[in-house]
Structure 1
Amino acid sequence: MIEAAMIWNEPNNKSHWDPEIDPDWSRFAHMAKLAADAIRDVNPGLTRVLGGISPIDPGFIGLMKSYGVLDHVDAVAAHGFPLDWNLWQIQEWPRRVEELRAVTDLPIWISEVGVSTFGAEEVQLWGLKKTAELLKGRVERIQWYSLYDLPSAWPATTRHKEAEGSSYYRHFYMGLLREDGSPKLALEEFARHTPEIGLVQWFHFEDPGLDEAVSWMKRLGVTHLRTGLSWADRFRPNALAWFDRQMGALEEFDVTVTFCFTPEHRGLAPHHTSAPIVPEEFADFCAEMTARYAPGSSSLDDLSRSPVCSSRQMLSMSLPIQPRE
């Protein structure tokens, strides 16, 4: 079900990793290497991607290289939103990509790029066309963010919140579909670029819109999708039942799963952006999810030889997680 595993999301953004706890990112680098090795041990053939950086900062990739992180992953990723949040213009995309290529020979994924309709839907339509023109053929993967607008009742995942002014509210208008499922102007244009351009859609715990999203993605011709499995959600009641439902619904797509979010009770601070108390626990979670949804070929061979093998059995393969105190 999984073609790639992404280790964390936007590690150089305080909305996803707290730099006050880990000012030199050494804790993050150690955790990322443990996670990458744990994924490899379960499935050596699975592509491991360093979590997409935002903002695009070659210096951060250089820092990860100095810590040895790039020796443990197969690709690096970056996120860019020049029409909404970044302090550079959209035509700079080729230069931003080349700045990353100057510090690493690994494949470069643009694992989130998008345009909000906060000001006007026409801006998103133009931005999608321009993004496709500037990025197609320049990077190994492009994934558009996102299918749905963020529901207005949810908070956006950011540490800045309303202090951002209008930038905060742009989070809620990034979809090709409105919150009620109605299409925006750019939806038809997006379908012209699939399957070359993939999609990003995060699903919250027990998301009621999962099946509708799957239906839309099939209609749009999407073949590769990026989503997430939350380490924090792993501690909720019925977590595995929800993970199984989510991943089962997405089994027809080539899925990049982002492993992210520290459980409050397992962080150095009680927040999902905190470095964990015991980084090996995050690696355990990555291994468990990989074994469950992307087991290595030897495990699959063993299971497929069983006379009672079924798709549900293959789905339910897991390594038990044992939280350390």
Structure 2
Amino acid sequence: MIWNEPNNKSHWDPEVDPDWSKFADTVSRTGAAIRAVNPGVTRVLGGMSPIDPMWVKRLEGHGCLDAVDVLAVHGFPLDWNLWSIHEWPNKIAEIEAVTDKPVWVTEVGVGSFGAEEVQVFGVEKTAELLIGRVPRIYWYSLFDLPQEWGATTRHREAEGSSYYRHFYMGLIRADGTPKPSLDSYAKVASEMGLMQWFHYLDPRLDDAVEWMKRLGTKKLRTGLSWADSFRPDALGWFDRQMEALQDFDTTVTFCFTPEHLGIQPHHTSAARDPQAFADFCAQMIERYAPKVATPVTETVAA
């Protein structure tokens, strides 16, 4: 996946790139770089949030959609979006109307901020509305975000309850105890994947793998951070993460600009050199999803 929520200012700075032309250039370069390393890898456009067909048309006008194979959407109708959970099929149809590419739901979630019973309803209604409607669904998330870590968003506590909802999206509490919604998810785990970010040197990695195998989860979406690639022993951490996740059908999200490489010194900024991001993605594909040579079959005449 190329970036995360690029039409959300918490993840892509619109002041640096108001018309998404820099983002489109980044997508074009990255899609080409990934294809050059391994043509068999499915290239997913970073999940849009909000779900916006006009944004898709804008990117189409910039000519970058040929560099991806799948479009993705994110939705949180009981927490952040201003539409009903029952509108999910219509939201999918809005994007299908402006593309001939498959549409995946790469983040969908309902938090337990107000009541854990609401999250149980959210898992069950989401499964009812989306399983069979789209090729892939990823529930956000397995674990609650520990409050001491802080959420990746631009306005933090100024967002009021919207900010604090970030810490209640998991099926498992930050102390490691399961919520009632985990039982609801377990019933559909083979059909609904999980989206779980793993922070640099995340101590939850092994527990996550154990939980996902116990639940029967088949598909996982996570991330490899370009910014993290400049931390000490970054490749060692990436190797450990990807080895731990090797038994899952994994969609890896590439995102987060290193501060020293951005037009502005922030992880949401477009890069000064978008090819540097494309090169990072190509290196990660070469390392973790290289092209496998097709064996040559020799035909011997009788």
Alignment-derived partner of residue 205 in structure 1 = 200
Which of residues 138, 142, 148 in structure 2 aligns to 1:147?
A: 142
Instruction: Give the match's secondary structure for 2:44.
Output: strand
Which residue in the other structure is 1:84 paired with? Answer: 79
State the 4+ residue runs in structure 1 displaced beyond 4 angstroms: none
Q: 1:232 corresponds to which residue?
A: 227
1:13-42: per-residue Cα shift (whole Å, max 9, x none)? 001000000000000000011011100000
1:302-313 alignment, distance < 5 Å: none
Equivalent residue number for residue 73 of structure 1? 68
Task: Check if 1:261 corresponds to 2:252.
Answer: no
Deviation of the 1:301 alpha carbon: 6.9
- Name the residue aligned to 2:176: 181
1:183-228 per-position Cα deviation (integer Å, ceiling 9, x unaligned) = 0010011010021100000000011111011000000100110000
Confirm or deny that 1:116 pairs with 2:111: yes
Q: Distance in 2 between matches of 1:179 and 1:138?
A: 32
1:166 aligns with 2:176: no
The percent of aligned pairs where both chains have the same amino acid is 67
Residue 53 of structure 1 aligns to a residue whose secondary structure is coil
- Cα distance in 2 for partners of 1:162, 1:277 equals 30
1:11 corresponding residue in structure 2: 6
| One-letter identity of the residue aligned with 1:229 | L
Q: Aligned residue for 2:51?
A: 56
| Alignment partners' CA distance in 2, 1:301 and 1:205 | 38
Structure 1, unmatched stretches of 5+, are 1-5, 303-325
Normalised TM-score (structure 2)? 0.96
For the pair 1:20 / 2:20, whether they are aligned, the reply is no
Partner AA of 1:50 in structure 2: L
* 1: CA distance, partners of 2:98 / 2:201: 40
TM-score (norm 1): 0.90
1:45 and 1:221 map into 2 onto residues whose CA distance is 26
Please tell me the residue identity of whatever aligns with 1:204: H
Secondary structure of the corresponding residue to residue 106 of structure 2: strand
Measured in 2, the distance between the counterparts of 1:157 and 1:73 equals 26
Query: Which AA in structure 2 matches 1:20?
Result: E
1:290 partner SS: helix
For 1:105, the equivalent position in structure 2 comes to 100
- Which residue, 152, 155, 160 being the options, matches 1:157? 152
For 1:133, the equivalent position in structure 2 comes to 128
Matched residue SS, 1:162: helix
Task: Judge which range, 59-68 or 223-232, deviates more.
Answer: 59-68
Any idea what SS the aligned residue of 2:271 has? Answer: coil
Question: What are the ranges of 5 or more consecutive residues in structure 2 without an aligned counterpart?
Answer: 297-302
Alpha-carbon distance in 2 for matches of 1:254, 1:134 = 23
> 2:107 is paired with a residue of what secondary structure?
strand
**Separation of aligned partners in 2, 1:282 and 1:100:** 27
CA RMSD of aligned residues (A): 1.1
Secondary structure of 1:110's aligned partner: strand
1:193 alignment partner, one of 188, 191, 194: 188
- Structure 1 residues 115-155: Cα deviation after superposition (integer angstroms, max 9, x where no partner): 11000000000011111111111111100000000011011
What is the alpha-carbon distance in structure 1 between the residues aligned to residue 169 and residue 36 of structure 2?
37
Cα displacement (A) at 1:160: 2.0
- State the one-letter code of the partner of 1:187: L
Query: How many angstroms apart in 1 are the aligned matches of 2:196 and 2:282?
Result: 23
Deviation at 1:65, TM superposition (A): 1.3
